[in-house]
Amino acid sequence: MRPEILFPLFAPIETIGGIGPKVAQNLAKLKASRVLDLLFMVPTSIIDRRARPGVAGAVNESIASFEVTVEEHTPPPRRGLPYRVRTMEADGPLTLTWFHARPDWLLRQLPIGQTRLVSGKVERFGGDLQMLHPDFILKPGDYGEMPPLQPVYPMTAGLASKTLRKAILEALERAPVLPEWNSTSLMIERKWPSWREALDQLHNPTEPLDPERRDPGRTRLAYDELLSKQLALALVRNRRMSLGGFAQISTGVLVKKVIAGAPFTPTDAQMNAYTEINTDMAEPVQMSRLLQGDVGSGKTFVAALACAQSVEAGRQAAIMAPTEILARQHGRSLQVLLDPAGIRVEVLTGRDTAANRRKILERLQAGEIDVLCGTHALFQKGVDFKQLGLVVVDEQHRFGVSDRVQLLAKGSRPDLLVMTATPIPRTLTLAAFGDMELSQIREKPVGRKPIATRIMPLERMGEVLERLHGLFAKDGRAFWVCPLVEESDKSDLAAAEQRYAELSAIYGNKVGLVHGRMKGDEKERVTEAFRNGEIKLLVATTVVEVGIDAPDATVMVIEHAERFGLAQLHQLRGRVGRSDKPSSCILLYQSPLGLVAKERLQVLRETEDGFLIAEKDAELRGFGDLLGVRQSGQVRSRFADLATDGEMLELARIQARMEVEADPDLDGARGETLKTLLYLFEQDQALHLLTSG
């Protein structure tokens, strides 16, 4: 249970004075529904209001504060003109200006003859100094209400910054003094404040934000966040090791048959990855391994070898994919690879008829199916394996830490192999998969030709259309990916439908359309027609990023390439170049191209090394959504920045592993303190493992 000391932090936001249903609704848009969310709201910038230059010394376009006497109100002579209030400061006049003003409110705020402190942005206008819409108007005695350094938070329409500031200050008053989880030596060495003081520094800064250097309070909070996540991963890993597992030992007969029957020669990198997996599976401990391999590097073949080992050891394997279309694709690929060893492969999706589904489930329970492919539905009630030995999960970003915890709690404790085609920088791998061992395939299969990548402005689309005519005349195939749409009133689906209509007018029934909102069987029908050549050009949203395998497709056109992240462009490009035919990728961009976008597209033209591209992507735009963390919510950070916090992440990982080795169940006094940290950063799911059998 959550420690009592944290109860005030998890109280609803409405318990704070001044927050009624309407304000709470606006705060919910900022993902703030509890007191804790206010405390963990990180300022995006800090306004320095300490400058009191006097009217004579005021710098144009700067933020400044002045003590003034109100002299005269001048309402606008007609609509559309500003309301002006003339005031006098020791050095001279200052005009305060409002558009769409409420005169009664202004007369109450600024009575003639009274002294006020005003603060805001000043500008020189025809020799006079004026301030448009002052941020603060304070009476003598209330001057302390204006922070000398004012934190600026993310805002939403309908929410006043003063309301948010007041709520955050009240939340701060409720923040308890928590026991210290960081070592005294680390606190002294890094000059870190306590947790409570760090929050105070965050919301009541004493120095302006330095883009080059984070202050000690923010750094400490970032470390706390990293430590909580690494501690959760260390608990998951330790629990896996202590629970044991089934040693899947085989003579290698079936594995040899799969290798001998493969329609290609396996690469050294594939065989090295399988050797690491084989060693893990033979141990009486549950395997938990991440297999990273670039697009088209042959991860499915490595998974097939692992399945063969599990089957020979008398167990079954499950392949879990994020979509039905990908599950069926895996079924086809594995059938070809495992057939030479007599291994029985089946696919189970939501599209199966009730009778067919019942038949598959009966055969599965009887042990007549060796490898079952499907989506998350494989772990629903009623899907019972005779003896599950291996779970292979494709595309890890749909499979977060919580899924791994659930799988770990399953009685059979199957070995786990997670495959990803997103090459992940080391720091991000540690942050998301610190509980897993890592295997990498950094070599392309024999015979694959490089993909020629061209960057062209949209104005030259005519040349691309002409080139496609020639491609289709030779029975070639191409993808056309439509852009991520920025305007809120349009969707990428609308863009795809429009482009489909335009291209159909040129190429007739050679064009097909596929998008994420199509029903599974319709999507399958279109992609099958593309695979077998009935359709030559497949117009798509980014649904093709994972899941449409058409080795005969040799051209990938990506429209508005400047709107995509590097890693995503690389994933899309990897849909072609999957055979021995020359392939190309055409990146169409909207002129003029920004500097960062230009650099991104240039990187793609210069290299096909996904690991290099991933590092560059992180460097250019931060880790953002590199892992598709929107789906799993597992890596997104409030305080830490994985692009720059590699050293702290490594330190947190070491500390977490040491803590768990010293006290595996966290039941000592120190363990109780660490549990508080886990609950505070909502990483407490890992604690359920301590009580599970």
Q: Is the dihedral of CA 153, 154, 160, 165 positive or negative?
A: negative
Q: Token match 């006097």: residue?
A: 54
User: For residue 585, what is the enclosing H or E element?
Assistant: strand 583-589
Stretch 137-158: mean pLDDT: 91
Grade residue 543 by pLDDT with cuts at 50, 70 and 90: low
Mean pLDDT for 656-667 is 94
pLDDT(546) > 80: no
**Cα dihedral 328/331/336/339 (nearest 10):** -150
Higher pLDDT pick, 241 / 512: 512
pLDDT of residue 520: 74
The per-residue DSSP string of 469-480 comes to: HHHHHTT-EEEE
Residue 661 has pLDDT above 60, yes or no: yes
For the stretch 536-571, what's the b/e string if a residue is b when 16 or more beta carbons lie within 10 angstroms of its beta carbon?
Answer: bbbbbbbbbbbbbbbebbbbbbbbbbbbbbbbbbbb
Amino acid at 278: N
Report domain extents, the chain. 4-45+167-213, 50-146, 253-441, 451-607
- Whose structure tokens read 């779970």? 391
Rounded mean pLDDT of 46-53? 94
For the segment 226-237, the average pLDDT, to the nearest whole number, is 92
- The rounded distance, in Å, linking the Cα atoms of 583 and 664 is 53
Does the pLDDT at position 188 exceed 80? Answer: yes
DSSP string across 376-445: GGGGSTT---SSEEEEEEESGGGS-HHHHHHHHHSTT--EEEEEESS---HHHHHHHHTTSEEEEE-SPP
Tell me the CA distances in angstroms from 207 to 80, 529, 561, one per residue in order.
Answer: 40, 63, 40
Q: How far apart are the first and last CA of the chain?
A: 18
Average pLDDT score over residue span 31-54 = 94
Query: pLDDT tens digits, residue range 551-572?
Result: 789 999 999 999 888 878 888 8
Token pair 């040491």 in the structure block, residue: 658
pLDDT at residue 522 in the model: 86
Query: What is the residue-averaged pLDDT of the chain?
Result: 88
pLDDT for 396 equals 54
Closest CA to 345 of 379, 300, 376: 300
∠474-478-482 over CA atoms, to 5°?
155
| Residue 628, pLDDT score | 37
Domain 253-441 has CATH 3.40.50.300: yes
Would you state the pLDDT for residue 544?
A: 60
* Sign of the C-alpha dihedral computed for residues 597, 598, 602 and 605 taken in this order: positive
For the entire predicted model, the pTM comes to: 0.73
What residues contact residue 634 under an 8 Å CB cut-off, 6+ apart? Answer: 400, 401, 402, 432
Check residue 393 and give left, alpha or beta (phi > 0: left; psi -120 to 50: alpha). beta
- Could you give the 3-state DSSP secondary structure of residue 513? strand
Spatial separation of the C-alpha atoms in residues 269 and 196, rounded to whole Å: 50
CA 607 to each of CA 38, 48, 147, 451, 570: distance values in angstroms, whole numbers, following the listed order:
44, 45, 50, 10, 10
Rounded to whole angstroms, the Cα distance separating 606 from 585 reads 13
Predicted local confidence at residue 633, as pLDDT: 34
* Residue-level pLDDT at 201: 95
Q: Do domains 253-441 and 451-607 have the same CATH topology?
A: yes
Task: At 46, list the tokens.
Answer: 């800090």
Model pLDDT, residue 445: 75
What lies within 8 Å, CB to CB, of 224 at 6+ separation is 181, 182, 195, 639, 677, 680, 681
Q: Which one of 2.60.120.10, 3.30.2130.10, 3.30.43.10, 3.40.50.300 gives the CATH number of domain 451-607?
A: 3.40.50.300
Question: Where does the pLDDT of residue 64 fall: very low under 50, low under 70, confident under 90, or very high at 90 and above?
Answer: very high
Q: Render 635-650 in DSSP notation, one character per residue.
A: S--SS--TTT-HHHHH
Give tens-digit pLDDT for 307-354: 999 999 999 999 988 888 888 889 999 999 999 999 999 999 888 888
* Mean pLDDT calculated for residue range 448-463: 92
- In one-letter notation, the amino acid at residue 679 is Y
Cα–Cα dist 191/194, whole Å: 10
Binned at pLDDT 50, 70 and 90, residue 198 comes out as very high
Confidence of residue 194 (pLDDT cuts 50, 70, 90): very high
DSSP 242-257: HH--------SHHHHH
Residue 478, pLDDT > 50, answer yes
pLDDT tens-place string over residues 604-650: 998 888 878 877 777 665 554 443 333 333 446 789 887 788 889 99
Whether 377 has a pLDDT exceeding 50, the answer reads yes
- Looking at residue 471, its amino acid is L
Q: Enter the CATH code of domain 50-146.
A: 2.40.50.140
- pLDDT band at 688, cuts 50/70/90? confident
Q: Which tokens is 373 given? A: 């492919």
- Residue 123 or residue 520, greater confidence: 123
pLDDT of the residue at 436: 86
Strands 128-132 and 115-125, by their bridges, are antiparallel
Quick: pLDDT tens for 251-285: 899 999 999 999 889 999 999 999 999 999 999 99
Are the C-beta atoms of residues 402 and 254 closer than 8 Å to each other?
no
Q: Count of alpha carbons within 13 Å of 63, Cβ hemisphere only? A: 12
State the Cα angle at 557 between 553 and 563, rounded to 5°. 140
Task: Please state whether the peptide bond connecting residue 77 to the residue before it is cis, i.e. omega within 30 degrees of 0.
Answer: no
Element (H, E) at 271: helix 268-281
Of 286, 273, 283, 277, the C-alpha closest to 249 is 283
Q: Residue 355 pLDDT more than 80?
A: yes
The type of residue at 154 is: P
Query: Is the pLDDT higher at 530 or at 549?
Result: 530
pLDDT of residue 669: 92
As given in the structure block, the two tokens for residue 163 are 């309301």
Residues 6+ apart with CB under 8 A from 391: 317, 318, 320, 407, 414, 415, 416, 417
Amino acid identity, position 524: E
> Is pLDDT of 491 > 90?
no
Supply the pLDDT for residue 487.
47
- The answer to whether residue 411 scores a pLDDT higher than 50 is yes
